[in-house]
Amino acid sequence: MLHFFCSRRNWLYVLFFIAFQSFFNGSIGVAKPYKRVLVISGGGINPGFAAGIIAGAQMKGWQPDLIIATCGAGIGATIHHSEQSLKETYDVLMSQNFFKALKSVKIETANLLTLASKLSKAEDHSIYPSIFHNNVLYVPFTFPPLLKNNTFHHTPASAKLILISAKSLFGPEDVGQKREQKPLFQQVFFTDDKTAEFIRGWTLPEQQSYPNTNIARNTETITSQSTMMAMRAGLADPYLLNPLKVNDDYYFAGAIDLYPIDLALALGEEVMATYPTGFSPDYEEISTLTSYGFSQNKRRLETLQHTKVKWIDISDADSVGFNPVPKFIWMTNAIPHTYHLFTSAVAKQWQLGRDRSIEALTVAPGSVVDVRSHLRRPISPRLLEDFSCHNAYEWKTNEVASCISDKVGGCNRRTAKTCTPLR
């Protein structure tokens, strides 16, 4: 045996055999587990929009094999996962039961000055933050029965599903106490048994980019919970919604990895994703920064470096959503008061999501109108101190130093005559 390995010719056979085995066993050139992965990030209380995105993809013949949803996008994705057709998904969204479920969401802390004071105290990183009570919204732990299929076992008409959440590693009893030097949150994936095999042990890109975050290095994959529970767990942004308690654990929104493009690219041959908009520096950015320990706006710019993604423009999605809105010094509930207003609003959400998904699939990569050129203004200049055309829009122009609109100073992204996509 030793003589065999000492022979130069036989060494060549051994190396060839290893390469051959690696090719077929997964190390080199092996196919990814899914052909098409759809990522729908965030979205607030805008369930029809996420479901409409899925509808538009299917209408264009782009049937996702796996859907990854975070935060509010999980509502529409979960409803779609349960049903047998797009019509049934639409019917659930328009149902009296769903309207009743949304009407159960109430304003918990309306005074913006109180909220501002709470966020100000959260900047003290020496103590555990107050995120369990007295947030903007109160969402019940359970909703009225809505779904035919409340498990992660997918139906023949639906894709597999991953819902992302964050498990708190401290509890209400710790709030205000001196903080230990340990992580505050852990990323959690809720999914089916088969998909779980591919993502166990997944390392978060945020850990690599921001090693001093408040996030645990290891992730957790859970297959034993219902889709409704997982959806509710992923809704609760710190300071915005109350968390979901399951046994002794508290779950918050999946904003740890709000833009899971790296995960999608690892799992799928083709990836389509919602083009992430920036976080407001007045509230959203502060709340996630103090909770998770890194800037979502900076993470967003890292995400946008990926070029092998079909981007869905989600500009103006908030205009048809049900997110609470400020009025003077008060936060007001934007969920429609009547069933008629509710169905009308959900129909607009569905149509906008469907149209934007179709738009993304209509733009051909490499064409004169590039895969990104259909995007509207993706970020406001005030969200970043180092704002420029290069980092905020991924465009450069030969005529002006900054590109702050589609058609300003000779810059026209839609026709790509003067703007060139950064690759």
- What pLDDT digit, counting tens, does each position of 367-380 carry? 544 566 667 654 44
- Closest of 66, 28, 46, 41 to residue 264, by C-alpha: 66
Helices then strands, counting H and E runs in the chain, come out as 15, 17
Looking at every residue in the chain, the average pLDDT score rounds to 80
Q: Which of 133-147, 186-200, 272-286 has the highest mean pLDDT?
A: 186-200
Q: Which residue has the higher pLDDT, 179 or 413?
A: 179
- Of residues 23 and 240, more confidence is placed in 240
pLDDT higher than 50, residue 270: yes
Q: Which residue has the higher pLDDT, 128 or 14?
A: 128
| Token pair belonging to 111 | 């005074």
Q: Is residue 236 very low, low, confident or very high in pLDDT (cuts 50, 70, 90)? A: confident
What percent of the chain stands above pLDDT 70? 77
Task: Report the DSSP pairing between strands 160-168 and 66-70.
Answer: parallel
CB-based contact 352:314 (threshold 8 Å):
no
Beta bridge partners of 332: 325
Mention every residue, 6+ apart, whose C-beta is less than 8 A from residue 316.
352, 376
Residue 19's pLDDT band, with cuts at 50, 70 and 90, is: very low
| Closest CA relative to residue 274, chosen from 94, 123, 69 | 69
Q: What is the pTM of this model?
A: 0.82
What pLDDT is attached to residue 205? 83
pLDDT tens sequence across 71-116:
999 999 999 999 879 999 999 999 999 999 999 999 999 998 998 8
**3-class SS of residue 47:** helix
Q: Is the pLDDT of residue 13 over 50?
A: no
Total count of residues recorded for the chain: 423
Once rounded to an integer, what is the mean pLDDT over residues 221-238?
Answer: 93
Residue 318 above 60 pLDDT?
yes
Q: Is the pLDDT of residue 406 over 70?
A: no
C-alpha span between 296 and 405 (Å, rounded): 23
Query: Which residues contact residue 327 at a Cβ distance below 8 angstroms, ignoring those fewer than 6 apart?
Result: none
Whole-number Å distance between alpha carbons of 49 and 31: 31
DSSP 205-235: HHHHH-TTSSB-SS-EEE-SS-HHHHHHHTT
More confident residue, 151 or 29: 151
In the chain, where are the structural domains located? Answer: 31-362, 371-423
Q: Is pLDDT of 281 > 70?
A: no
Q: Three-state SS for 276?
A: coil
pLDDT value of position 153? 87
Which one has a higher pLDDT value, 181 or 48? 48
| Cα-to-chain-centroid distance, residue 48 | 16
